[in-house]
Structure 1
Amino acid sequence: MGELNLEKEISDLVEWLASYGADSKGGVSRLLYDENWVKAQDALKEHFEQIGMVTKYDEVGNLFGKMEGSEFKDETVATGSHVDSVKFGGKLDGAFGILASYLAVKYLKEKFGQPKRNIEVVSIAEEEGSRFPFTFWGSKNIVGKVDASEVRDIKDQEGVNFVDAMKQAGFGYKTSDEGIPADWKQWLEIHIEQGGVLEIEKIPVGIVQHIVGQNRYTVEIKGEANHAGTTPMKYRKDAGVAAAKIITMIQEQAKDFGEPMVATVGSIEFVPGTVNVVPGQANFSIDIRHTHKDQISSFAEKMTEKMERIAEEEGCEISINLYMEEDPVPMDPSIVQTIVDQCDGQGLSYKLMHSGAGHDTQRFAPLVPSAMIFVPSRGGISHNPAEFTYPREMAEGVKVLALALHKLAY
């Protein structure tokens, strides 16, 4: 693969796909079933067909392009990512994985001809949950039928109903009970890191071993609202103070726990939220992540005990609601080793690492051997028009993916 040619080709493709949904902030807003989403999927379908892929949409709008194998026609190595973006997002999240997969297959066909096993590139309909309050619509439908009741009554910010948008785009509910395609034998996803580790350590490729699990909570602390001037400190039941102590405790506990544990309080509200009133209530969120479920459970148990004790010390009541619990997902060791071997063979530096963000791969990995490859993100920035990966780094990622697909499919 010519280095400069590949750098230009992947850069041009990124700009081309970003034109479908280019927004006023210099980024991309390509949301599930909107006009730009439809145009992007149709344009990708044409590209897939131009290099000899057999294409199809499934019922919900996932796009599949298959390079048919010569010998093992019932065995498929699948690769790809999601075509939707966040609102005012970048050009690479999801999109790079589709384009890198397409380029890898294009290169393999040109250099080695038809593979022995099928290679299937998938442009997954939706992962982000940016238009409607539902995530992983695409991959959840690939692995099974999603209960229609989960999306029937949800709407976007403009009041458009999910089902109406889906029908307007030409798609509908999955009707069969079929799960993940029976011929899929491996799944590979390449993605920008969305973090700063590879850039900071000056490593061109990340090989993912785990996708972290996540617990998310909403917390409500109830104290007593009172006058800020006439209520002595010793008589206060200040929900704001309780919240502040709890947030500090969570950060300290996460640091003491050690990597890769991370804990975040990303939103907070004081009620009544007035400068001269002691807060009578505080509401905030908690997000904790780790690569092992037992470590998440251990952290959460200690955190909860401390939160309850702090609230009691401040004369407050506390309610802790766990509303999301995603288990960590390990990658397949044999595919990870395949990628490692390809990097070693090319003398390419790499880092074995975990993914701190969720990806479609976590839906596939429990059902089919799966792995992920990361390329650096400049400044660790993602979900932002400033999202950027240097062309040479994107090209290195395409090469590693192509080498891995060659090993698995040829």
Structure 2
Amino acid sequence: MSERWISIDRERSARRIERDIETLAGPDYTRSREAIRRYAYTPEYRNTLDYFIKELEAVGFRCTEDPVGNLVARNRPAGERVFGIGSHCDSNRNGGKYDGTMGVAAAVEVCRLNEELGLNLPLQVISFLEEEGSGFGQMVLGSRIVAGRVSEEELRSFRAIDDGRTFFEHAKEAGYEPERWRECARILDDLVGWIELHIEQARVLEDTGNRLGIVDAIAGYVHADITVRGRSDHAGATPMDLRSDAGLVMAECMLELERLAREAPGDTVGTVGEVELEPNLINAVPGRARFSLDIRGVDEEAFRGVARRLRDFAAESARRRGATSEYSERQSLSVTPLDKRVVGALEEAARASGEPYLRMPSGAAHDTMCVADRVPSAMVFVPCEGGVSHSPEERADPADAALGAEVMLNAIRRLVAAG
């Protein structure tokens, strides 16, 4: 083994990662026979944490959980500087085996390799709580708590989707102390860096023939609604030139959103995912239309500019058709640029692996966007078949995750040595 690059037995690592993933797809780890379904404070989620705890303790890690249930495992005492790796092991309610779980399994494999190869790298694994929001309808909840992106009032107001009971009630019943939630921030105190491996959840890597993606930014987004109010009339009796059709305004806006997003820089994308028409009858001209906007990108001005221009376009389109439009923003989030030094170390390791890789942004949100507030961070993507995710049909290759583990190990080795 050279000082610059360590090769691993990728086939053995792939088998171990596959064993982890297949075990966690078993009946003790999901609430559904048709899909992977596990979320905070359920027995199946508890079983999943216990599985990873057992695997980490086997290679000398001390495992703890913070006051809300984020899992933390270290091979150094508290106070010593460590490099962070991990992801999440909860699932979408109709999820697959790989989303999140593969990232934690790859982090565990890095820990196994560290022990077997005698590298003695200082490591900390984190599996964040409720990334998918399946328990309480709040995405990246565990990492948002750690990053201080929630308030006490909000935490006390969050309610479980299944039974309506509060987050605090469920956390306490599971043996945690959610009233101490501010102390969760401490789990990042000793980190000198952070890397999360995740399936891509798109098909860019697959379509371009790349085995790894080195993620240099996580897209920001605008979530909004446009409501158009026209006039509902009889579909047969009302001539075309006497209509104020809210549905046609919506249709024009959908096409304009596509045009604006294609022209914008920064990997900008725009989607209308929800639509409503009233009265929603086959023989009535729509008098009201409501449609959602999901506009994302890694160029802040570009994606926010698309939202502004579409708002203005909707107003003009509605005016021309004798209607009105109203723009309402639900939520917006800024771009998360990832750390150039960590990204550079990953890119160098990926290049040294001899395997094809792509430097790319993430269009989806991840826990890393919260960690990056305080810790130099980056991500590694592996392909998923057909880009399918959040589905029982989700597929990814453990061999790609093993390659990802090798690249992470070498990047961390370089970063730790550089200090």
Q: TM-score with structure 2 length normalisation?
A: 0.92
Aligned to 1:24: 33
Matching residue of 1:244: 251
Q: CA deviation at 1:259?
A: 5.7
Does residue 1:76 correspond to 2:82, yes or no? yes
- Match of 2:16? 9
Counting only pairs closer than 5 Å after superposition, residues 76-95 of structure 1 correspond to structure 2 as 76-95=82-101
Is 1:38 aligned to residue 42 of structure 2? no
- For residue 88 of structure 1, report the CA deviation from its aligned partner: 1.6
Shift, 1:406, TM fit:
2.3
Name which of 124, 131, 134 aligns with 2:128: 124
* Partner in structure 2 of residue 190 of structure 1: 197
1:395 matched to which residue of 2? 402
Aligned-partner Cα distance in 2 for 1:11–1:144: 35
| One-letter identity of the residue aligned with 1:48 | L
Match of 2:324 among 280, 294, 317: 317
CA deviation string 1:345-370 (max 9, x = no partner) = 23232111000101000011122100
SS in 1 for 2:159: coil
Aligned-partner SS, 1:151: helix
CA distance in 1, matches of 2:11, 2:191: 33
Contact 2:227-2:288 within 8 A present in 1 as well: yes
Report matched runs for 1:3-402 at 5 Å: 3-19=10-26, 20-21=29-30, 23-25=32-34, 27-68=35-76, 74-115=80-121, 118-144=122-148, 146-161=150-165, 162-175=167-180, 177-178=182-183, 179=185, 181-257=188-264, 260-402=267-409
1:177 to partner: Cα distance: 4.0
Instruction: Provide the rounded CA distance (Å) in 2 between the counterparts of 1:113 and 1:213.
Output: 37
Contact in 1 for aligned 2:264/2:303 (Cα 8 Å): no
C-alpha distance in 2 between matches for 1:355 and 1:333:
15
Structure 1 residue matching 2:180: 3-state secondary structure: coil
How far apart are 1:323 and its partner, in Å?
1.1
Structure 1, residues 235-265: CA drift from partner, whole Å, max 9, x if none? Answer: 1111111111111111122223356110000
Q: How far, CA to CA, are the matches of 1:391 and 1:46 in structure 2? A: 20
1:108 touches 1:406 (CA, 8 Å); kept in 2?
no
**CA distance 1:337–1:148, change in 2 (3 Å):** same
Contact 2:209 2:356 in 1 (8 A): no
**Matches of 1:270 and 1:176, distance apart in 2:** 43
Alignment CA distance shift 1:350-1:280 (3 Å):
same
- Structure 1, unmatched stretches of 5+, are none
Q: Distance in 1 between matches of 2:301 and 2:271?
A: 19
Q: What is the distance in 2 between the residues matched to 1:228 and 1:403?
A: 66
Residue identity (%): 31
Give the whole-Å Cα distance in 1 for the aligned partners of 2:128 and 2:93: 17
Aligned length: 405
Partner secondary structure for residue 92 of structure 2: coil
CA offsets, 1:64-99, max 9 Å, x none? 010128xx9621111100121001201111111111
> SS where residue 289 of structure 2 aligns?
strand
Contact 1:146 1:174 in 2 (8 A): no
- CA deviations 1:187-227 (Å, max 9, x no partner) are 11011111101111111111001101100101211111121
Deviation at 1:293, TM superposition (A): 0.9
Deviations 1:259-315 (A, max 9, x none): 611000001010111111111111110100110111122222222211110011111
Distance (Å, rounded) in 2 between the aligned partners of 1:220 and 1:130: 28
- Give SS of 2:237's match: coil
> Which deviates further from its counterpart, 145-154 or 310-319?
145-154
| Corresponding position of 2:4 | none
Q: Hey, what's the Cα distance between the residues in 1 that align with 2:99 and 2:142? A: 15
Quickly say closer, same or farther: Cα 1:313–1:17, change in 2 above 3 A: same
Partner AA of 2:115 in structure 1: K
Confirm or deny: 8 A CA contact 2:83 2:193 kept in the other structure. yes
Distance 1:382 1:194 in 2: 5
Q: Distance in 2 between matches of 1:409 and 1:104?
A: 14
Q: CA deviation at 1:113?
A: 4.3
Distance (Å, rounded) in 2 between the aligned partners of 1:159 and 1:177: 26
- TM-score, normalised relative to structure 1: 0.94
Question: Whole-Å Cα distance in 2 between the matches of residues 99 and 318 of structure 1?
Answer: 48
- In structure 2, what is the Cα distance between the partners aligned to 1:253 and 1:113? 50
SS of the aligned residue for 1:78 comes to strand
CA distance in 1, matches of 2:355, 2:401: 14
Q: Is the 8 A contact 1:148 1:173 kept in 2?
A: no
Which runs of structure 1 show a deviation greater than 4 angstroms over 4 or more consecutive aligned residues? none
